[in-house]
Amino acid sequence: MSEEIKKYDEEINLIYHKDPTGLIYWWEYNENGHLIHVKNSFGREAWYEYNKKGEQTTAHYKNLYGEENWYIYDEDGNQIDMTKQKLKEREEKEFLSRTPASRFELMDI
């Protein structure tokens, strides 16, 4: 185990944290001090957008497998939409790598 490290920006927002297990987090904020991006050393990330009143309007998450989710909120903070993107391209590549070429020769593409 290593030492815990925390770093802050001029506005005293946490921008870096390394925990005793070695996991690292990074945070970014907009000019109004709202969190706009966070990621960790495992590859997870999140992005946030806000309206002029400082209310969150979208949240976009990516997990360590690259799968992504988007959440859209109305002006009252209610979730009104959710979109999930699976790794279709990766899934197709994995399928092709497991499928013998002769099988495709018989397909009428």
Which residues are within 8 A (CB) of 93 and not within 5 positions of it... i.e. 6 or more apart?
A: none
Tally Cβ neighbours within 10 Å of residue 48.
19
CA nearest to 48, candidates 59, 63, 61: 59
Chain segment 15-57, per-residue pLDDT in tens: 999 999 999 999 999 999 999 999 999 999 999 999 999 999 9
Look up the pTM and report it.
Answer: 0.71
Q: Examine the pLDDT at 97 and tell me if it is beyond 80.
A: no
Alpha carbons 98 and 49: distance in angstroms, whole number: 40
